């Protein structure tokens, strides 16, 4: 299974900017998300009623398809931990202030977690498989696993993304994760996963794993490498997120020859941010600078581990 | 490859387990009652959170009602199963409420008192509820939560089936749960689609839906797992499909395109002919839009030979993400009892539709293959087919 297109809206200059991994800026206090001009991607009428999460999802989805001139994907799959959190909060505020009066249904209609995936299909007029995974910090990994099933069942191209919205309630997330030195982020990253290799360059997704509620996360990376007959010193780059203080020491003992990057410094903490890391990995692989094999190591929540293994082919 | 169903569990307004649910379906007892608190007809589970905590041995854990209701149904389905290193076991749930019932509680308190302590509690994600449920069962590793509004349940079930079919898991607990949340009570009220009485699915004079709360779960196993567990096979999950209507965010298309695709593709997957289907448990919410669109889809798929069909929403209310999951359990009960369930409150055929739903409860008739439909916001349409083994 190959990654044939990628598109992200993030705190980096990532949208339609191949090679953005060369220009990474650590998130500072003033840094904001970089939104594109949505007008080429979403009709004005639709743009007005869409939440930021929907706009980001639709723009990235359409950008992905246009990169490879694909009219229709065989499936649309989204991973989002909190879904349409802006509309959810808006509707709660309306309930609180209505005091028995009438409430407009607009926010309720847009509040379901599958709004992003649903709106993509609606705009594309796509009648295929459409689903949304909401598994906490492993939402995107689960969406990717579902995509691998689709490819296994004969799908040629699957549109898959990770997205979470800017929601002020989440500014307390790092406190809950006991990692107060990291900034909260948000964004969307979408991909086309394909059965066949499209280009001279392609990144092969060798493994996608998702482990929830596990006591000892350390054993799994080794297992996955063994299953794929890859030695730990063949991994050129590890993109990681973790809430453990000594994670760098642990990872460097296991991957002594790999470069280590804490990817959350560039996209911020959000529960589907391993999708940003996958795009970052894809961008590194695309540049011929010696990075051939990358592991995305998502340990944002201590008992949950996501692993994505990809290789330049 | 066969996907075996070896366990079922359900909790709803008509009963706290599958036996009680079947008895109510058999005797035509609706669980929808007037709630003086909300001034609405609702399908409530008649147990408080405290009572559910007590029953499940999780007192004082501040679990969402999603987790509490699900634990009941999951434990019934799981039964005497044991965790084994030989059987790769997963838990796939679905919900639209997740921890939102807790968030509401804390958020409204916060608006009143502006107490910052509430902040960390206001993260209302779905996945945490599934992690809590899996943890209570002792399942760790593969956990996912599907959330596609009112078709969430079958999407969790078919994801589990596909994980077995493509050899990622050997055994998986699948299903869905939604408690009543003020958010949904007000949400459907804002859409103005409540029936003030018990809903009348597929009736010309239908006025709308009633919402309810429930949880339904099934245990799915492959052949290898069955050899290890020695579990008795209840039936097989023979077909499934999810397709998109791509017509409107909330309304179903007048020609039932998405529903037609889902049913046709599920039949194809099960390698069955339309004449093989003995009973359909319809989505049948009782709204003007859904029931007509679904009936059009029946015509598209089955032509002049629409099989016996009924909606059980008149018993349980529309239980949102749990609906397709509890109705999957009802399909298994239909096969076990060779039964077709009655559609409550039907008096008059819909205009332009020349067939009517199953009006009486039948038992001991021949039922070999049953189909279940669920549709959700976002044009999300799912069908499942269960068959006698």
Q: Taking all residues of chain A, what is their mean pLDDT, rounded to a whole number?
A: 93
| Residue A87 backbone class (left: φ over 0; alpha: ψ -120 to 50; beta: rest) | alpha
As its CATH architecture, domain A2-194 has: 3-Layer(aba) Sandwich (3.40)
**Burial class, A289, CB count within 10 angstroms (exposed 0-12 / middle 13-18 / buried 19+):** exposed
Disruptive mutation site among A130, A214, A306 for chain B (greatest number of B CBs within 10 Å): A130
Q: Where are the alpha helices (DSSP H) in B303-352?
A: 313-316, 323-337
Cα of A304 vs its chain's centroid, Å? 16
- Smallest CA–CA distance, residue B309 to chain A, in Å, is 25
Task: Identify the pLDDT of residue B120.
Answer: 60
Q: Does residue B386 carry a pLDDT above 70?
A: yes
From chain B, the residues in CB contact with A112 under 8 A are 96, 147-149, 376-378
- Tell me the C-alpha distance between B229 and B113, whole Å: 53
Domains located in chain B, CATH noted: 3-229 (3.40.47.10), 235-387 (3.40.47.10)
For B45-75, what is each residue's pLDDT tens digit?
999 999 999 999 999 888 999 999 999 999 9
Q: Which CATH fold topology does A203-312 show? A: Peroxisomal Thiolase; Chain A, domain 1 (3.40.47)
- Secondary structure (3-state) at A65: helix
Give the up-direction half-sphere exposure of residue A55: CA atoms within 13 A in the CB hemisphere: 21
Q: Indicate the domain borders of chain A.
A: 2-194, 203-312
| Cα distances (Å, whole numbers) of residue B152 to A84, A131, B171 | 16, 9, 20
The reported pLDDT for the residue numbered B116 is: 58
| Token pair belonging to A38 | 């949505």
Q: Dig out the tokens for A39 from the structure.
A: 């007008």
Q: Write the DSSP symbol of residue B368.
A: -
Instruction: Tell whether A172 lies on the interface with B, counting CB pairs under 8 A.
Output: yes
Which chain B residues are within 8 Å of A149, Cβ to Cβ? 159, 162-163, 166, 168
Q: Cα separation of A184 and A170, whole Å? A: 7
Round to whole Å and give the CA distance between B175 and B95. Answer: 9
Closest CA to B161 of B3, B7, B5: B3
Listed range (A277-286, B105-114, B371-380) with the worst mean pLDDT: B105-114
pLDDT at A178: 61
What's the pLDDT at B117? 63
Q: Is A302 on the interface with B (CB under 8 A)?
A: no
Question: So what's the pLDDT on residue A28?
Answer: 84
- Structure confidence at residue B15 (pLDDT): 98
In this prediction, residue B118 carries a pLDDT of: 64
Residue A308 · residue A207 · CB < 8 Å: yes
Nearest residue on chain A to B100, alpha-carbon basis: A88
Between B103, B120, B191, which is nearest A175 by CB?
B120
What is the rounded CA–CA span in Å between residue B42 and residue B35? Answer: 6
Per-residue pLDDT at A177: 63
Contact call for A138 and B141, based on CB within 8 A: no
B135-163: average pLDDT: 97
Would you call A121 and B107 a contact, using CB atoms and an 8 Å cutoff? no
pLDDT (tens digit, 9 = 90+) per residue, B21-34? Answer: 999 999 999 999 99
Tell me the backbone φ, ψ of residue B239, rounded to 5 degrees.
-150, 155
Percent of chain A residues past pLDDT 90, beyond the cut: 82
pLDDT of A175: 57
| Complex prediction ipTM | 0.97
- Tell me if domain A2-194 and domain A203-312 are identical in fold: yes
Give the per-residue pLDDT at A31.
85
pLDDT exceeds 60 at position A296:
yes
B335: left (phi over 0), alpha (psi -120 to 50) or beta: alpha
The per-residue pLDDT for range A103-147, each reduced to its tens digit, is: 999 999 999 999 999 999 999 999 999 999 999 999 999 999 999
The pLDDT tens digits for B80-105 are 999 999 999 999 999 999 989 988 88
Q: What spatial distance separates the first Cα and last Cα of chain B, rounded to whole Å?
A: 12
Residue A216 — pLDDT band, cuts 50, 70, 90?
Answer: confident
């Amino acid at each position: 299974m190959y990654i044939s297109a990628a598109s992200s809206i993030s705190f980096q200059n990532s949208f339609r900017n191949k090679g953005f991994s060369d220009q990474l800026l650590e998130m500072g206090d003033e840094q904001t998300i970089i939104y594109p001009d949505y007008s080429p991607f979403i009709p004005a009428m639709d743009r007005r009623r869409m939440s930021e999460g929907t706009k980001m999802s639709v723009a990235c989805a359409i950008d992905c398809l246009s990169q490879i001139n694909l009219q229709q994907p065989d499936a649309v799959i989204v991973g989002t931990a909190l879904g349409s959190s802006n509309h959810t909060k808006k509707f709660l505020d309306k309930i609180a202030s209505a005091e028995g009066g009438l409430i407009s249904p607009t926010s309720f209609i847009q509040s379901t977690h599958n709004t992003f995936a649903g709106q993509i299909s609606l705009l594309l007029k796509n009648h295929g498989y459409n689903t949304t995974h909401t598994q906490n910090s492993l939402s995107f990994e689960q969406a990717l696993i579902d995509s691998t099933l689709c490819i296994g069942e004969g799908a040629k191209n699957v549109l898959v993304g990770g997205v979470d919205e800017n929601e002020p309630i989440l500014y307390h997330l790092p406190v809950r994760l006991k990692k107060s030195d990291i900034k909260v982020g948000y964004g969307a990253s979408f991909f086309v996963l394909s059965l066949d290799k499209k280009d001279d360059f392609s990144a092969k997704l060798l493994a996608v794993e998702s482990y929830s509620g596990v006591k000892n996360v350390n054993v799994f990376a080794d297992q996955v490498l063994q299953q794929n007959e890859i030695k730990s010193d063949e991994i050129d780059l590890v993109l990681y997120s973790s809430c453990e203080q000594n994670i760098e020491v642990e990872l460097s003992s296991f991957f002594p020859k790999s470069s280590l990057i804490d990817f959350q410094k560039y996209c911020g903490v959000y529960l589907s941010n391993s999708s940003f890391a996958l795009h970052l990995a894809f961008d590194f692989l695309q540049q011929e600078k010696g990075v051939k094999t990358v592991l995305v190591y998502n340990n944002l929540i201590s008992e949950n581990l996501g692993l994505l293994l990809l290789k330049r082919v | 490859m066969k996907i075996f169903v070896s366990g079922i569990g359900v909790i709803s307004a008509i009963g706290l387990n599958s036996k009680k649910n079947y008895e109510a379906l058999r005797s035509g007892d609706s669980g929808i009652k007037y709630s003086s608190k909300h001034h609405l007809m609702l399908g409530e589970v008649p147990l408080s959170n405290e009572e559910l905590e007590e029953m499940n041995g999780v007192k004082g854990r501040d679990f969402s009602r999603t987790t509490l209701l699900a634990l009941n149904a999951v434990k019934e389905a799981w039964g005497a199963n044991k965790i084994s290193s030989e059987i790769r076991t997963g838990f796939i749930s679905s919900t639209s409420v997740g921890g939102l019932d807790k968030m509401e509680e804390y958020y409204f308190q916060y608006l009143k008192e502006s107490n910052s302590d509430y902040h960390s509690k206001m993260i209302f994600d779905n996945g945490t509820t599934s992690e809590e449920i899996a943890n209570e069962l002792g399942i760790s590793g593969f956990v996912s939560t599907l959330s596609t509004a009112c078709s969430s349940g079958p999407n969790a079930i078919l994801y589990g089936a596909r994980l077995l079919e493509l050899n990622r898991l050997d055994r998986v607990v699948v299903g869905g749960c939604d408690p009543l949340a003020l958010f949904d009570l007000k949400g459907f009220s804002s859409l103005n689609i409540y029936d003030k009485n018990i809903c009348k699915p597929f009736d010309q004079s239908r006025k709308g839906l009633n919402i309810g709360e429930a949880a339904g779960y099934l245990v799915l196993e492959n052949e290898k797992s069955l050899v290890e567990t020695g579990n008795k096979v209840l039936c097989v999950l023979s077909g499934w499909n999810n397709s998109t209507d791509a017509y409107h965010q909330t309304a179903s298309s007048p020609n039932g395109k998405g529903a037609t695709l889902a049913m046709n593709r599920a039949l194809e997957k099960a390698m069955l002919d339309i004449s093989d289907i003995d009973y359909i448990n319809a989505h049948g919410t009782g709204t003007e839009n859904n029931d007509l669109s679904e009936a059009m889809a029946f015509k598209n798929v089955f032509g002049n030979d629409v099989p016996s069909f009924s909606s059980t929403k008149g018993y349980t209310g529309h239980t949102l993400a749990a609906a397709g999951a509890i109705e999957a359990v009802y399909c298994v009960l239909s096969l076990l009892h060779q039964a077709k369930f009655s559609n409550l409150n039907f008096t008059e055929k819909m205009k332009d539709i020349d067939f009517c739903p199953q009006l009486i409860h039948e038992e001991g008739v021949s039922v070999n293959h049953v189909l279940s439909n669920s549709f959700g916001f976002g044009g999300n349409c799912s069908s499942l087919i269960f068959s006698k083994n």
